[in-house]
Amino acid sequence: MAPQDRLTPIPFNIETRATEPQRQASLLRIAGLSVSYGAQQVVTDVGFELARGRSLALIGESGSGKSTIARAVLRLLAGGGRATGRIEFDGQDVLGLSERRFRILRGRDLGFVPQDPGNSLNPVRTIGVQAMEAAALVDEPSKAVRKALVLETFAQVGLDNPERVYDSYPHQLSGGMLQRVLIGLAVLPRPKLLVADEPTSALDVTIQKRILDLLSRLQEELNISLLLITHDLAIAAERAGSLVVLKDGVVQEAGSTASVFASPASAYARKLHADVPALNPDRYAALRDPGFRLLDTSAQATPKIEVNSITKTFAVDGRVLTAVNDVSFTVPAGTTHALVGESGSGKTTTIRLLLGLDQPDKGKISVAGEQLTGRSHDSLRAVWRHLQVVYQNPFTSLDPTWKVEQLVREPLDRFRIGTARERSERVREALANVGLGEHLLSRKPAALSGGQRQRVAIARSLVLKPDVLVLDEPTSALDVSVQADIVEVLLSLQARLGLTYVFVSHDLALVRQLAHTVSVMQRGRIVEHGTVADIFDNPKAPYTVSLLDSIPSGLASGIQAPRMRPQRLFKEEKIA
Amino acid sequence: MRNAYLTYAAKRLVQAVVVILLAYVFTFVVVSILPGDPITNVLRNPQNGFTETEIEEIIAAQGLDKPVLVQLSTSLSNFLTGDLGLSMRTNRPVTTLIAEVLPSTLVLASAGLAVALVLALVIAYGTRFLPKRFGQGLLRDFPSLFLSVPNFVIGLVLIHAFGFQLGLFRVIQPDSFWATFFAAIALGIPISAQIAEVLIANLDHESEQEYAAVARSRGIGQMRLFAKHLLKPSSLPVVTVIALTIGELLGGSLITETVFGRNGIGSLVQRSVTTQDLPVLQAVVSLAAVVFVLVNLIADLVYPLLDPRVKLLGAPERRPAAADESSVNVSKVVTS
């Protein structure tokens, strides 16, 4: 039995707040809350209520002000942030209290679970020292008892070997373990309200599910109210009783989860809903169908990409680690093959081998009939023209000092293709292909939105007119609605230009929307492969089943997706 | 873990010894190619009144008639055995000369460093906790102010105010407690500026880190946050800065000693330069190199003890203390 399944009743000798006779009133009541940084107002007139023992999700995209609201509740706004309006917690006016009076509430009554577990613990102090700070909030004079309390909490949140965790430094633990520690520390003093700011966005899907399960269970058993901040509508649908949808700091819609999902009233909520892959598996069916037809007819033809039992090992600390172990797959021309797995599964190494950035120890790779393995760097250059890559994070993959025109033209310059005039024509053509206008040519990346940046990155790979694009988590750094735009661009490019994609992702819902064939990787091996329908409707490997189970889905709670809005193709991006 | 640290320390120590020897050879070469022949300048200087036979004796005793390479190897082997030769000016062992003045300089330098650290900490603390109406913002300008005032000016002001006006110490007794105290302040102020500058920048950076907000969400007060959470990670770069300011501390004590009339390494150097007393100069420069290397060695050795994340040079990578139950850390190392 997994350790996190044995959540016993809490034997602490502190009073359980659930029994207090104050169930009638709301625990948290926010009215007319506005937050500004200097002259810039980021939250405007927000109001909602959260009852005791209930859960509420604040959802919205980056910049919607959801995290700011969470921090305003905890009075932890970053320097210069000013909150006005009313935040009432347990009958007390949060904004009106003196720092001294409010500090007593922090930790004891208001728990906080942060977004990025890797940066949320002091890196140069042991976890034990920091845990004892949380334990100090419990009225318990004996240090030994408080330490026992900490260890017990660690066990409760599913950490094996609590003693060892206690003595560790944060960098010695994985993100999932750190998030368990942080949740443990937040619930240890038995707060009345837990504010969880994107508690799982930095974690792998299967760990995400366990962490969310843990939160839900603690919330239920300890009767804690949960304020969940998330960008993921599917998570909100699954975990929260009511929703507040935010955009640009303004509430778009609020209500019970069921009603917001069943009949979203605001246009924004409808759009958000339609953009979530997990809720709309067939959204791009029309765009994807040509690929499926190719898949059927290309059974005999030579595949565009052929990876034949490649193996790659690395020596770490004198030990040999097999990062990729006997991996094989083929991708017919014009289709999308998805490599799916969690961090450490070997996806990244596999695509590095496919791109010829590393050489496999064993096995062969060929692209468009050309052998990639065992070739010199110079002869690989010829292949690279037909094999381009789009990276994960457009905020770091584009040189911030270059203009869009230079960025997109660079591959042409490197490969010395065409005259100056031809190059500039091809740059314009590539930009048009991704739906960007010529007015952006002289912009630098900082003056572009995230979606525009990733379009520039795609244009940059398209400018060489490659046959194959390797897409390394191309949307994971982007908001859902932007993600939907990029997916649409990619799929329509495939339909028009007949591109072959290798798509690397940990997001199974997204894979389901756009891939034709799928390989599921675990610990360097392919544990299962097949068409999207095979994998998603009829998974065989236990690991695939557990991955599929981890997809948060509003469908699980019986909420059906509303009808999709019409497809928009090649929508010109508005200038921000 | 323990073994890894010892291996690391041993490697660092060997490197330090090599650097010291190289520094010695380098100063020897520089001194020997300097223009001007010390024999003509010092020994044949009529003011010194040496006879020709005495000069011959000194030349033979110092080995100045031998080829340069032979001189270097004798000098180096003497250096290794702790024999720094005889001063040309006084004909006394250089080690004795240095031993006479070293304690005074060491006292001044360490007092100066202590003043600098305390001052830096006070400024850094003030920039975070001094109420705005008491000039919190003004405090941030102190480091650049301190840096822009030369320490002999500070020294002269201190002598004037506390020595002559208030009569706290007598200028003709430069080794008294108060005289040393104010000399240390004059020396420490410019150095405190550099330390404070780094400390303030790091405190600003660390206090914006997510862990600071999370610690506050645990009900931690500002004072405790400063003392228990922010100070340690913020002082890590300070260790490096201190190691780098040692040169300044030595140079600064030279000036401070002159201003306050102290008899230390500074005055010894000054006398030796004017008389071209090469063995003494060679010894002092080598000593400075040794101090510099030692301080950096200490900084290197202390750093991994302060920051658990530092990977030791040549030591095997540490395993995570406990394996995660759900993801494969091992291959994460490889693919990330």
Give tens-digit pLDDT for B305-322: 888 887 665 444 443 333
**Higher pLDDT, residue A564 or A292:** A292
Q: Binning pLDDT at 50, 70 and 90, where does residue A185 land?
A: very high
The CATH superfamily label for domain A285-386+466-552 reads: P-loop containing nucleotide triphosphate hydrolases (3.40.50.300)
Tell me: pLDDT of B17 over 80.
yes
**pLDDT in the model for residue A521:** 92
Tell me: pLDDT of B149 over 60.
yes
Tell me: pLDDT of B127 over 50.
yes
Q: Shortest CB distance from B309 goes to which of A123, A164, A167?
A: A123
What's B261's domain CATH number? 1.10.3720.10
- Residue-number span of the structural domain to which B76 is assigned: 2-80
Amino acid at A513: Q
**Higher pLDDT, residue A217 or B129:** A217
Task: Name the pairing type of β-strands A242-247 and A250-256.
Answer: antiparallel
Q: Between residues 540 and 569 of chain A, which touch chain B (CB distance below 8 Å)?
A: none
CATH number of A3-275: 3.40.50.300
Task: Give the tens place of pLDDT for each residue, B292-305.
Answer: 888 888 888 888 88
Q: Shortest CB distance from A133 goes to which of B218, B322, B324?
A: B218
B131 & B182 share domain: yes
Contact B333 A343 (CB under 8 A): no
Look up residue B284 and give its two tokens. 């002092």
Q: Between residues 122 and 141 of chain A, which touch chain B (CB distance below 8 Å)?
A: 122-125, 129-130, 133-134, 137
**B125 domain-assigned:** yes
Topology of domain A396-465, CATH: ABC transporter ATPase like fold (1.20.1580)
Average pLDDT value for residue range A7-21: 42
Tell me: pLDDT of A496 over 70.
yes
Q: Where are the alpha helices (DSSP H) in A356-505?
A: 377-384, 404-414, 420-433, 450-462, 480-497
**B319 domain-assigned:** no
**Higher pLDDT, residue A352 or A10:** A352
Q: Does A316 touch chain B (CB under 8 A)?
A: yes
**pLDDT in the model for residue B40:** 65
DSSP secondary structure string for all residues of A34-62: EEEETTEEEEEEEEEEEETT-EEEEE--T
Tell me: pLDDT of B166 over 90.
no
Q: Does A37 touch chain B (CB under 8 A)?
A: no
Task: Give the tens place of pLDDT for each residue, A353-383.
Answer: 998 888 889 999 988 888 887 777 778 888 8
Distance in Å, alpha carbon of A422 to nearest chain B alpha carbon? 39
**B196 domain-assigned:** yes
Tell me: pLDDT of A501 over 90.
yes
**B161 domain-assigned:** yes
**B334 domain-assigned:** no
Average pLDDT value for residue range A92-108: 87
Contact A165 B321 (CB under 8 A): yes
B199 & B107 share domain: yes
Q: How many domains does chain B have?
A: 2
Rounded distance, CA B111 to CA B186, Å?
11
B103 & B226 share domain: yes
Domains A3-275 and A285-386+466-552 in one fold: yes
Tell me: pLDDT of A434 over 50.
yes
B314 to chain A: closest CA residue: A317
Query: What is the helix, strand, coil percentage profile of chain A, to 5?
Result: 40, 25, 35
- When scoring A154, A165, A177 by the number of chain B Cβ atoms within 10 A, the one with the most, hence best to mutate, is A177
Contact B335 A349 (CB under 8 A): yes
Tell me: pLDDT of A4 over 60.
no
- In angstroms, what CA-CA distances link A518 with A330, A506, A535, A545? 10, 12, 7, 14
Amino acid at A91: G
Contact B327 A317 (CB under 8 A): no
Domain boundary among B233, B248, B274: B274
Contact B210 A161 (CB under 8 A): no
Chain B residues with beta carbon closer than 8 angstroms to that of A315: none
Rounded distance, CA B12 to CA A455, Å?
50
Sequence ranges of the domains in chain A? 3-275, 285-386+466-552, 396-465
**pLDDT in the model for residue B29:** 84
Q: Among A212-226, B136-150, B247-261, where is mean pLDDT lowest?
A: B136-150
Give the whole-number percent of chain A exceeding pLDDT 70. Answer: 90
Q: Shortest CB distance from B322 goes to which of A79, A106, A161?
A: A161
pLDDT mean across residues, chain A: 83
B108 & B253 share domain: yes
B102 & B68 share domain: no
Q: Which residues pair with A388 in a beta bridge?
A: A469
Q: Does A31 touch chain B (CB under 8 A)?
A: no
Tell me: pLDDT of A5 over 80.
no
**pLDDT in the model for residue B334:** 31
Distance in Å, alpha carbon of B195 to nearest chain A alpha carbon? 20
Q: Among A155-169, B104-118, B134-148, B214-228, where is mean pLDDT lowest?
A: B134-148
Average pLDDT value for residue range A299-325: 82
Average pLDDT value for residue range B27-41: 72
Chain A residues with beta carbon closer than 8 angstroms to that of B215: 122, 130, 133
Domain boundary among B230, B256, B274: B274
**B284 domain-assigned:** no
Q: Are A417 and A464 in contact (CB under 8 A)?
A: yes
B145 & B110 share domain: yes
Chain A residues with beta carbon closer than 8 angstroms to that of B320: 168, 172-174
B119 & B212 share domain: yes
Q: Binning pLDDT at 50, 70 and 90, where does residue B41 land?
A: low
Q: Give the dihedral of Cα atoms A265, A266, A267, A273; nearest 10 deg.
A: -70
Amino acid at B187: L
Rounded distance, CA A229 to CA B318, Å?
35
B70 & B165 share domain: no
B256 & B112 share domain: yes
**pLDDT in the model for residue A569:** 34
Average pLDDT value for residue range A206-226: 85
B155 & B14 share domain: no
Q: Shortest CB distance from A342 goes to which of B214, B317, B327?
A: B327
